């Protein structure tokens, strides 16, 4: 390090060096790799007063199916050690409601919007994809095949390789928008699922969704969630998510958006080193809405401190030769 500093060349380079933060997810360019996780950022507009959305890599909205969804009864979330369990039940306005209520705001953003979509049948997924393709101006579609909180839909597609590849192929046919498949963590090994999504035509993977979990109030003897079980998220799942990203990255060539408990730039860098091209902040938004921007600032500092010129140099850079 010291000897390098004595060399005048790197110093000059240092002063003028621009760090490239932009990454590519399928056909979608992100000005930086930091985005947010579906369901933890509403439809963007709710946070517009607290942070400048145009500084993000992309905005990701809450899961949308064809028609409006009422969602589960309450309580819908419960706090646990270093985490949260939720069973929202994918409440949402449906495609039309979304377009009417939220799209006018989102389409004016300078950064792409990723729309998280779901359905209860392969046909519904494809139809929702087609509707957003028609809409124009959407950044990418994220196929939620891994929501643990809905009986008919979501998770079963993410834990069955054949269904998964059917859903992805059907959406692939319905749209030319970049497709991101949001993977379920609840599998013996993620590799075959990752490959199924890639082969089905997915442009990227989002790893990972929440873990099936449960909590009981011992005084009332009732589950703490009206839905009985829910999905575990937050810092508590980070070590599991890192492992899944690492394994998925070894299995496929398409980029991965890493998520699960990211609270700061060190967490984000850990995901990138494990193999993620981009990262998403989820549960942390709920307690610190500035998290994504803090992650971005910390990431920039880290690259500069390490003398790196391109954020992509971090991707998959973990050194795993056994000693």
Partner 1 sequence: MLPPTMVEESVRIISNERATDLYFRLVVQSPRIAPLVQPGQFAHLRILPLREALLRRPFSIFRVEGYTFSILYKAVGKGTELLSRMRPDDELNAIGPLGHGFTVPPAGGEMPLLVAGGYGMAAMYLLAQRSPQRGIVFVGGRRRVDILCEDEFRALGWDVRATTEDGSHGEKGLVTQPLIAELKRGTAGRKLFACGPTPMLKAVSRIAEEFNVPAELSMDEHMCCGVGVCLTCVIPISTGDGWEYQRTCTEGPVFDSRLIAWEATA
Ligand X SMILES: Cc1cc2nc3c(=O)[nH]c(=O)nc-3n(C[C@H](O)[C@H](O)[C@H](O)COP(=O)(O)O)c2cc1C
Enumerate the β-bridge partners of residue 214: 229
The residue within the footprint of ligand X, chosen from 35, 283, 291, 294 (CB under 6 A), is 283
The C-alpha atoms of residue 276 and residue 311 are separated, in whole angstroms, by 11
- Which range, of 63-71, 100-108, 120-128, 223-231, touches its own copies by CB under 8 A? 223-231
Q: Does 239 bind its own copies (CB under 8 A)?
A: yes
Q: Does 84 bind partner 1 (CB under 8 A)?
A: yes
Residue 70, binding choice from ligand X, its own copies, partner 1, none, Cβ under 5 to 8 Å by partner class = partner 1
Q: Does 209 bind ligand X (CB under 6 A)?
A: yes
Nearer to partner 1, 85 or 244 (CB): 85
- In this structure, are residues 59 and 36 in contact, taking their beta carbons and an 8 Å threshold? yes
- In this structure, are residues 83 and 235 in contact, taking their beta carbons and an 8 Å threshold? yes
Residue 186, binding choice from its own copies, partner 1, ligand X, none, Cβ under 5 to 8 Å by partner class = its own copies
Q: Does 144 bind ligand X (CB under 6 A)?
A: yes
Q: Which parts of 42-81 interact with its own copies (CB under 8 A)?
A: 73, 80-81
Nearer to partner 1, 62 or 131 (CB): 62
Q: Does 5 bind partner 1 (CB under 8 A)?
A: no
Q: What single string gives the DSSP state of each residue in 143-189?
A: EE---TT-SSSGGGGTT-HHHHHHHHHHHHHH--S-EEEE--S-SS-
3-state secondary structure string across 72-85: CCCCCEEEECCEEE
H or E segment and range at residue 223: strand 222-223
Per-residue contact string for residues 304-323; x = within reach of partner 1 by CB under 8 A? -------------------x
The C-alpha atoms of residue 20 and residue 32 are separated, in whole angstroms, by 8
The region that residue 125 occupies, defined by phi over 0 for left and psi between -120 and 50 for alpha, beta otherwise, is alpha
Q: What residues line the site for partner 1 (CB under 8 A)?
A: 39-42, 46-47, 49-50, 62, 70-71, 73-77, 79, 81-84, 86, 88, 91, 226, 234-235, 283-290, 323
């Amino acid at each position: 390090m010291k000897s390098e500093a004595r060399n005048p060349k790197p110093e000059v380079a240092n002063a003028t060096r621009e760090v490239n933060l932009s990454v590519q997810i399928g056909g979608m360019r992100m000005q930086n790799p930091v985005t947010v996780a579906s369901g933890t950022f509403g439809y963007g507009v709710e946070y517009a007063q607290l942070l400048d959305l145009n500084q993000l890599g992309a905005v990701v909205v809450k899961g949308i199916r064809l028609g409006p969804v009422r969602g589960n009864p309450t309580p819908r979330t419960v706090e646990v050690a270093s985490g949260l369990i939720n069973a929202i039940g994918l409440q949402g306005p449906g495609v039309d409601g979304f377009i009417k209520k939220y799209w006018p705001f989102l389409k004016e953003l300078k950064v792409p919007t990723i729309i998280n979509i779901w359905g209860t049948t392969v046909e519904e997924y494809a139809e929702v994809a087609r509707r957003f393709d028609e809409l124009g101006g959407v950044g990418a579609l994220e196929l939620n095949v891994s929501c643990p909180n809905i009986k008919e839909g979501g998770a079963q597609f993410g834990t069955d390789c054949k269904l998964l590849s059917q859903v992805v192929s059907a959406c692939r046919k319905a749209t030319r928008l970049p497709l991101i498949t949001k993977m379920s963590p609840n599998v013996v090994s993620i590799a075959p699922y990752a490959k199924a999504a890639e082969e089905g035509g997915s442009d990227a993977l989002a790893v990972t969704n929440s873990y099936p979990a449960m909590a009981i109030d011992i005084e009332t003897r009732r589950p703490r969630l009206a839905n009985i079980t829910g999905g575990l998220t937050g810092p508590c799942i980070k070590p599991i998510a890192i492992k899944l990203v690492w394994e998925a990255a070894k299995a496929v060539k398409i980029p991965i958006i890493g998520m699960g408990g990211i609270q700061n730039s060190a967490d984000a860098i850990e995901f990138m080193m494990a193999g993620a091209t981009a990262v998403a902040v989820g549960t942390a938004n709920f307690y610190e809405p500035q998290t994504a921007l803090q992650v971005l600032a910390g990431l920039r500092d880290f690259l500069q401190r390490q003398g790196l010129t391109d954020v992509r140099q971090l991707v998959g850079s973990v050194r795993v030769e056994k000693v």
